[in-house]
Amino acid sequence: MPDLLSSNPSTSSTALDSDSEETETRYFLPELGAWAVLTIDPVASLSDGAREVPEAVDACKRMVNKPYVALVDHNHALYLPWEPYNSYSLRFLQQGDPYPVPEEFIEPYMSVPVLPVTKETHISGRPPLQSSKALPWSDCFLSISADSVVRSPSVWGSGPALWKIDDAERDRIEELMTDDIYDTREKRNAAMAAEKELEVGAVDPSLGPLTPPAIADEAAVSTSTEADVPSLHSPTRSDTGGQPSVYASSKNSEPYDDESDSDGEGPRDDERGGAEEDEQEPLDLVEAVFFNRLHERAMTTVQFTHDLLTVTELNDPRDYYKEVEAIKRIEQEAAPRIEECRALKLQNEIQRAKEADAAVYDEPTIDRLFERPSATGKLPTKEHPGDESSSAPGSKVEPHASEDKMPVAQGAADATSVSNPEKATTEAIREPLAQAGSPTWILRIKSMLKKPEAESTPAPGSKVEPHAPEDKMPVAQAAADATSVSDPEKATTEAICGTSTPF
């Protein structure tokens, strides 16, 4: 019976127009129960950290990956079309005579033949699988020795799969494979028991008991307990390493115990890792079911196609496992450089962000500042920011003298500036401030504010007029005083200080 929660339909219909009955048929890639060709994508199979190491990516791009044919058995997790990836359990199609795998207690008869076949009988004695269309190869079989769990991008196929098996055949495969897994488990348990008997009987009985009865009883209890613990040497295949599949790893790695399965309590605390495991955060079932996060995990990633005619000769699945191991070695070699490459990547991103900000903000800001009119209503230029005068067309523009060679008194004593003290004051202050980085402009401001000592005391018998309030004495009135016209420096000082009172 197919698992309804973990299986995706072969097609999906989407309405094109609510007013019409026309629908668009989409085909899943891959379809469950279909024969498909898969090829490993080495770069996508790397972890996120390893993909940030350029050498690891280059090594994966240089890999040569073969195509393999497999039966898409079922979804490894709930199928989510909106996720970037979905996972599947596969059974590789092999050609020729089944071979034993002694370290996994797999025998040649633990296999299922697939039509077309040239031999009347198969070593397993099982009837062959019937596909919707005859496969391009003969004398093929499935075995628990060659399967894997992979992920692939969530994409739509261009059409239906031509080579498929129906649900009844899928159920038969599941039943036969389950029987084979239990057979391997029984063989493993028998081998472990025989090994323990050899260890106990290794002592010469003529020597008599070498240990007290109490210790012997404890040793017997220890022996019986160890027989129930999964063997550390039992080969199990992970979903990325190629060693037996989700079936063999979950059912074939520990002895079968009817009582432990029937009591409903699950594994013992000492087998689960003790209290350390219990302190972990509880699993969010909603997160696990509806968001598989396969794109955030390192997992063998493949590309599928339903066109079996693209493969002329079946490749041995053992080469598939070698490719997976090669990718794992690349990841291990790249692990020490992940943090270094991440720091370099972050530094490059910061530099690019600075350059982008400079292009967007720096130059436009400078242009905008030079577009602002000055106090005289004229626009400064980038070449001469402090120049507020415009030369007549065709006139010769003299080069600007350096600030250190142009004293402030010269500008204040200009004949045209005397008649306009406010402009003289503005130019006397603005020009040195335009070059704020020069230390001489501070000294020039102080020199403009300095008064001669002869003018510090009034003449004997002279009449001293009272000072008018500062807010009632405009700068222009003091600058236009008759006595100040002959002294431009004094006019500049009064224009700055707002008073004619000596210091």
User: In this structure, are 318 and 420 located in the same domain?
Assistant: no
User: In this structure, are 332 and 412 located in the same domain?
Assistant: no
Of all residues in the chain, what percent carry a pLDDT higher than 90?
25
> pLDDT for 206-251, tens place per residue?
555 544 444 444 444 444 433 333 332 333 334 444 443 433 333 3
Work out the angle at residue 168's Cα, subtended by the Cα atoms of residues 165 and 174, and round it to the nearest 5 degrees.
90
User: In this structure, are 436 and 291 located in the same domain?
Assistant: no
> pLDDT for 466-476, tens place per residue?
555 544 445 44
Strands 23-29 vs 35-40: parallel, antiparallel or unpaired: unpaired
User: In this structure, are 320 and 407 located in the same domain?
Assistant: no
User: In this structure, are 294 and 173 located in the same domain?
Assistant: yes
Structure-model confidence comparison of residues 252 and 232, the more confident one: 252
- For 52, the token pair is 């940030």
User: In this structure, are 67 and 152 located in the same domain?
Assistant: yes
Residue whose C-alpha is closest to residue 174's, from 261, 105, 245: 245
The predicted pLDDT at position 408 comes to 45
User: In this structure, are 304 and 448 located in the same domain?
Assistant: no
Q: What are the residues whose beta carbons fall under 8 Å from the beta carbon of 471, sequence distance 6 or more? A: none
> Taking 80 as the threshold, does the pLDDT of residue 42 lie above it?
yes
- Asked whether residue 151 is assigned to any structural domain, the reply reads yes
The predicted pLDDT at position 253 comes to 40
pLDDT bucket at 262, cuts 50 / 70 / 90: very low
Alpha helices in 139-284 (DSSP H): 167-200, 213-226, 246-251, 258-262, 269-272, 275-278
Average pLDDT, the chain: 68
User: In this structure, are 418 and 304 located in the same domain?
Assistant: no
Burial class (CB in 10 A: 0-12, 13-18, 19+), 129: buried
Burial class (CB in 10 A: 0-12, 13-18, 19+), 424: buried
Q: Which helix (H) or strand (E) holds 156?
A: strand 155-157
Per the structure, the complete domain to which residue 78 belongs is given by 11-199+218-266+281-336
Q: Which helix (H) or strand (E) holds 91?
A: strand 85-92
**Cis peptide bond N-terminal to 244, omega within 30:** no
The alpha carbon of 479 is separated from its chain's Cα centroid by a whole number of angstroms, namely: 72
The predicted pLDDT at position 25 comes to 79
Question: Taking the complete model, does pTM exceed 0.85, yes or no?
Answer: no
The predicted pLDDT at position 296 comes to 53
The predicted pLDDT at position 157 comes to 82
Give backbone dihedrals phi and psi of 471, rounded to 5 degrees, phi first.
-75, -10
Structure-model confidence comparison of residues 368 and 65, the more confident one: 65
Give backbone dihedrals phi and psi of 89, rounded to 5 degrees, phi first.
-100, 130
> pLDDT for 84-127, tens place per residue?
899 999 999 999 989 988 888 999 999 999 989 888 888 888 99
- Asked whether residue 463 is assigned to any structural domain, the reply reads no
> pLDDT for 445-502, tens place per residue?
556 555 555 445 555 665 655 555 544 445 445 444 544 445 655 655 555 555 544 4
User: In this structure, are 427 and 316 located in the same domain?
Assistant: no
- Asked whether residue 234 is assigned to any structural domain, the reply reads yes
pLDDT bucket at 266, cuts 50 / 70 / 90: very low
Spell out the SS3 assignment of 129-155.
ECCCCCCCCCCEEEECCCEEEEEEECE
Per-residue pLDDT averaged across 387-414, rounded?
48
- Asked whether residue 448 is assigned to any structural domain, the reply reads yes
Per-residue pLDDT averaged across 387-412, rounded?
48
> Taking 70 as the threshold, does the pLDDT of residue 23 lie above it?
no
Report how far residue 243's alpha carbon sits from residue 235's, in angstroms, rounded to the nearest whole number: 7
The predicted pLDDT at position 144 comes to 87
Are 422 and 475 in contact by the 8 Å Cβ rule? The answer is yes
Report how far residue 402's alpha carbon sits from residue 405's, in angstroms, rounded to the nearest whole number: 5
Are 329 and 56 in contact by the 8 Å Cβ rule? The answer is no
User: In this structure, are 135 and 65 located in the same domain?
Assistant: yes
pLDDT bucket at 37, cuts 50 / 70 / 90: very high
- Asked whether residue 330 is assigned to any structural domain, the reply reads yes
The predicted pLDDT at position 356 comes to 85
Are 30 and 66 in contact by the 8 Å Cβ rule? The answer is no
User: In this structure, are 330 and 384 located in the same domain?
Assistant: no
> pLDDT for 274-332, tens place per residue?
333 344 455 555 555 555 555 555 689 999 999 999 999 999 999 999 999 999 999 99
- Asked whether residue 207 is assigned to any structural domain, the reply reads no
- Asked whether residue 497 is assigned to any structural domain, the reply reads yes
Domain count of the fold of the chain? 2
The predicted pLDDT at position 136 comes to 92
DSSP readout, 312-346? SSPPPHHHHHHHHHHHHHHHHHHGGGHHHHHHHHH
- Asked whether residue 2 is assigned to any structural domain, the reply reads no
> Taking 60 as the threshold, does the pLDDT of residue 344 lie above it?
yes
Are 163 and 308 in contact by the 8 Å Cβ rule? The answer is yes
Burial 275-300, CB ≥16 within 10 A → b, else e: eeeeeeeeeeeeeeeeebebeeebbb
> Taking 70 as the threshold, does the pLDDT of residue 3 lie above it?
no
User: In this structure, are 314 and 383 located in the same domain?
Assistant: no
The predicted pLDDT at position 195 comes to 86
The predicted pLDDT at position 354 comes to 86
Report how far residue 421's alpha carbon sits from residue 448's, in angstroms, rounded to the nearest whole number: 14
The predicted pLDDT at position 470 comes to 47
- For 314, the token pair is 């079946």
The alpha carbon of 141 is separated from its chain's Cα centroid by a whole number of angstroms, namely: 40
Of all residues in the chain, what percent carry a pLDDT higher than 70?
48
